[in-house]
Amino acid sequence: MENVRIPLVKGVVSRQARTGWPEGTVEDEHGREGFAGNYSMLYRRRPPTQWTRIEGPSRPRAMDMDALAAPDADDPDATPTLLLENEDVGIYVSRRRAAMPYYFRNVDGDEVHFVQHGEGRLETEYGDLSYEAGDYLVLPRGTTYRFHPASADSYIVIVESRTGEVALPDRGLLGHFVPFDAALFEHPEPSSTPLPDDQDEWEVRIKRGDVLTSFFYDACPMDVVGWVGTLCPLKINVRTFRGIHSERTHLPPSAYATFRGPGYWIVTFTPKPLETAADAVRPPGYHRNVDYDEVIFSHSGRLVSRSETTGPLLTLHPAGVHHGPHPRAFELTRDVERMDAYVINIDTHRALRPAPAFDAAEQQDYWEQWKTPLTAAPLAGHRGSQT
């Protein structure tokens, strides 16, 4: 058949990936290009995550998001805190509680802000956008802006797209309207209110090559009265998303892709009913994402692959290092009907380097959590649906 590369089948396998794991085995995906390229499913006798020791830096890592010290929480003049970076992407956190006393213009990259907690007003030269928890705010490279938080629990995760523009993924045969309709993006309107004149001096702080330069004006520089074009800040909330799902099999993260840029993807897992087929495996399988480092954190709720005790962790699974369900995940998902969680996933082609702030908030024993045996067989089994 044209364009179909028939897989080779060797030994004891399931003929339908992600379902019907042969008794006494777990499925381990060895694939290229995330979950879209050449692959083989390996059927193993033991989870490949049951390591006893790791020597060296390429290991599963996790950071307690609540423990992260972000200087801009208490110092309005501070800038966001770097967590992880590579040549293509910088990942930062802002916990700002008071308005920025300066305007900011990032010339090092587009910015995608995800509002984990909090609400307020984003002032830009294109006009204002209000924001709340669950919003993605996209700021094109070089946009002048400042944040005016209106809540004490502000927590924003920022992805800096360093080598090219933020874009929407190609949705291919899925069409234009899932997992969300791009018509839902909100845009700022030019402000019609008088400019503030309560300051003697106005600062615009430009970041170029990770170095800051300040320009000062004797009037508020946000004096745009109109704009026309194809470039502007955008806002969309994850609650508007309509992710697809299958009753009979687990879909890969690419089905939930939200944004992409050179060297990275941003994915939003949204609430869904869990699979009901008797041979379905509800948590995602084991894999070693050989082309991507994976960063993941929960916005609300719990990912089905994690244990019930997981706190507000931001995790880093380096490319090539196995990961997969927590040993209790098969048991914990057996008698629930839905995954009511919003989870943010950032995948990067190049290796991410943790910054000191990540190291300082690290949960040191995270790599150990898969050591214990599984507490239930992987298949949903007793659920009664026909295969």
- Judged by the rule CB under 5 A, the positions of this chain that interact with Fe ion are 294
Of 128 and 294, nearer to Fe ion (C-beta) is: 294
Residue 286 CB, shortest distance to Fe ion, in Å, is: 9
Distances (CA, A) of 21 to 12, 243, 305, 377: 9, 26, 17, 10
- Minimum distance from CB of 383 to Fe ion (Å)? 25
Cβ proximity to Fe ion, 28 vs 294, nearer residue: 294
Structure tokens at 309: 């005790």
Angle at CA of residue 40, ends 243 and 353, nearest 5°: 70
The residue (of 275 and 294) whose beta carbon lies closer to Fe ion is 294
Task: Please give the single-letter amino acid code of residue 318.
Answer: P
265 vs 342, which CB is nearer to Fe ion? Answer: 265
**Number of neighbours of residue 133 by Cβ within 10 angstroms:** 20
Is the CB of 110 or the CB of 347 nearer to Fe ion? Answer: 347
Task: State the sign of the Cα–Cα–Cα–Cα dihedral 125, 128, 131, 134.
Answer: negative
Of residues 89 and 138, the one with the C-beta less far from Fe ion: 89
User: Least distance (Å) from Fe ion to the CB of residue 183?
Assistant: 31
* Nearest distance, CB of residue 44 and Fe ion, angstroms: 17
Bond preceding residue 196 cis, omega within 30 of 0: no
297 contacts: CB under 8 Å, gap ≥ 6: 65, 116, 157, 312, 313, 314, 315, 343, 344
| Residues 137, 116: Cα–Cα separation, whole Å | 12
161 to each of 84, 108, 155, 158, 354, how far by Cα in Å?
13, 8, 19, 10, 17
Tokens matching residue 165: 């523009």
Q: Which of 91, 372, 303, 79 is nearest to 205 (CA)?
A: 79
Residue placing its CB nearer to Fe ion in the complex, 220 or 290: 290
* Measured distance CA(68)–CA(60) in Å, rounded: 18
Smallest distance from Fe ion to CB 243, Å: 17
Nearest in space to 30 (alpha carbons), one of 371, 322, 279: 322
CB of 284 to Fe ion, least distance (A): 7
Min CB(292)–Fe ion separation in Å: 8
Report the residue number, 190 or 243, with the smaller CB distance to Fe ion. Answer: 243
Residue sitting closest to Fe ion (CB): 294
Q: How far is the CB of 294 from Fe ion (least distance, A)?
A: 5
